[in-house]
Amino acid sequence: MEAVAASVIAVLGTLFGAALTHAFQRRTALRSEEFARQERLRQERLDAYSTLGGALMNYRRAVLDRWYAAHRERPEDEQTALAQESRLQRTTAQEALFRAELLTDDPALTAAGQHVLVQISEIRHAPSHDEVKQRRNDTHTLIHELITSSKKHVSATPPAPVTPARRVNTP
């Protein structure tokens, strides 16, 4: 009888140990998956926001080149080429903005990106060189502010993994 009781206790202990190990491994796996997901999202955001910043700077440069060519009476074919380059850079910037919009949950960041794009587009309508310089400086500042505001989405370490909810007995 003692041998049977000892065997039953051993089997129950083994089952309890296996169940406990399974529970801990499952919790660890869930934490690891959540951490990996957050890190992938952080990396994608980092790539998207840096690409957006570069695309906006390139678009800004293309618009400025176009304005200077038009106001310095450069040959028509050069102005046409610069206009095409400006449109190409705008498309690239718009694509980068779309990607950033898909990865962010911050509507203010999305609005800021759209605002920068519009402000860069407005450079070409500047009536004077002084106005172009002002708009050039303003858009440079706006781009840097956009990138600075995106830092909070990429520089913070991913949140601690979520643990399974525990039941709370309420009276």
> Are the CB atoms for 123 and 132 separated by under 8 Å?
yes
CATH of 42-154, one of 2.20.25, 1.10.3470, 1.20.1440, 3.40.1130: 1.20.1440
The distance in angstroms from the start CA to the end CA of the chain is 44
Residue 163 is predicted with a pLDDT of 52
Burial 116-130 (b: 16+ CB within 10 A, else e): bbebbbebbebeeee
- Per domain, the residue ranges of the chain are 42-154
Per-residue pLDDT at 169 exceeds 70 = no
Residue 6 is predicted with a pLDDT of 82
Lowest average pLDDT, out of 9-13, 35-39, 47-51, 58-62, goes to 9-13
Residue 156 is predicted with a pLDDT of 60
Lowest average pLDDT, out of 35-39, 74-78, 80-84, goes to 35-39
| 3-class secondary structure per residue, the chain | CHHHHHHHHHHHHHHHHHHHHHHHHHHHHHHHHHHHHHHHHHHHHHHHHHHHHHHHHHHHHHHHHHHHHHHCCCCHHHHHHHHHHHHHHHHHHHHHHHHHHHHCCCHHHHHHHHHHHHHHHHHHHCCCHHHHHHHHHHHHHHHHHHHHHHHHHHCCCCCCCCCCCCCCCCC
- 171 vs 32, more confident: 32
Query: What are 1-31's pLDDT values in tens digits?
Result: 788 888 888 888 888 888 888 888 888 888 8
pTM: 0.76
